[in-house]
């Protein structure tokens, strides 16, 4: 069985109608995952078996307080998903940004790898990067501050 576009659209409608953020289906050697929390609906075919989707753990109020720095200047760029933070498109490439780099709205500032997919994170602000809060290869949570732009 092949996942037809009509079937994929029905899955996307189920997500929307039921307030879900993600749905995964497996049929033999095929798998599909559709997420609402990404910039666009994403379909991920796989020839291997599917591993259960990573679910963001509940974050205590205490942990939430440590994620934001009220005295920090600038606008935060936060992670839109759970994954692994990367500063560059490949290990031997130059980082997208460094402290002091000038960025424009829409510039790629990092990559978050989630479920073997590389998701480009773009700046929503123009300005200068004044702080990078995560190290290359570190795991990140949904909503975690990655860097500040002033």
* pLDDT for 12: 77
Residue range 103-117: mean pLDDT, rounded: 94
Beta strands at 117-122 and 102-103: parallel, antiparallel or unpaired: unpaired
Query: Could you read off the pLDDT of 5-22 as tens digits, one per residue?
Result: 777 777 777 777 777 777
Query: Could you read off the pLDDT of 111-146 as tens digits, one per residue?
Result: 999 988 999 999 998 999 999 999 999 999 999 999
Does the CA dihedral 14-19-21-24 come out positive or negative? negative
- In 3-state terms, the chain is what percent helix, strand and coil (to 5)? 15, 30, 55
* pLDDT for 37: 57
Query: What's the predicted TM-score (pTM) here?
Result: 0.54
* pLDDT for 47: 40
End-to-end CA distance of the chain: 51
CATH of domain 67-149: 2.40.50.100
Q: Classify the phi-psi angles of 93: left when phi > 0, otherwise alpha if psi is within -120 to 50, otherwise beta.
A: beta
* pLDDT for 49: 38
Q: What are phi and psi for residue 8, nearest 5 degrees?
A: -65, -40
* C-alpha 136, offset from chain centre: 15
Q: How far is CA 47 from CA 1, 29, 42, 117, in A?
A: 13, 5, 17, 15
* pLDDT for 126: 94
Query: Could you read off the pLDDT of 33-81 as tens digits, one per residue?
Result: 777 754 444 444 444 334 444 444 444 444 444 444 456 788 999 999 9
- The residue extents of the domains of the chain are 1-49, 67-149
* pLDDT for 48: 39
* pLDDT for 9: 78
Q: What are phi and psi for residue 146, nearest 5 degrees?
A: -95, -40
For residues 102 and 46, which has the higher predicted lDDT (pLDDT)?
102
Q: How far is CA 2 from CA 30, 36, 44, 100, 116, in A?
A: 8, 22, 13, 48, 21
């Amino acid at each position: 069985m092949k996942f037809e576009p009509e079937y994929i659209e029905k899955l996307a409608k189920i997500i929307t109608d039921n307030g879900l953020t993600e749905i995964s289906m497996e049929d033999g050697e095929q798998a599909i995952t559709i997420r609402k929390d990404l910039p666009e609906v994403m379909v991920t075919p796989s020839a291997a078996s599917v591993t259960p989707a990573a679910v963001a753990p509940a974050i205590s109020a205490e942990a939430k307080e440590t994620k934001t720095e009220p005295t920090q200047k600038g606008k935060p760029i936060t992670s839109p998903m759970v994954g692994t933070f990367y500063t560059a498109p490949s290990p031997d490439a130059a980082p997208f940004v460094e402290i002091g780099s000038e960025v424009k709205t829409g510039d790629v500032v990092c990559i978050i790898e989630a479920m073997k997919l590389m998701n480009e994170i773009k700046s929503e602000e123009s300005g200068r990067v004044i702080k990078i809060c995560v190290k290359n290869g570190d795991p990140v949570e949904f909503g975690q501050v990655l860097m500040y732009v002033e």
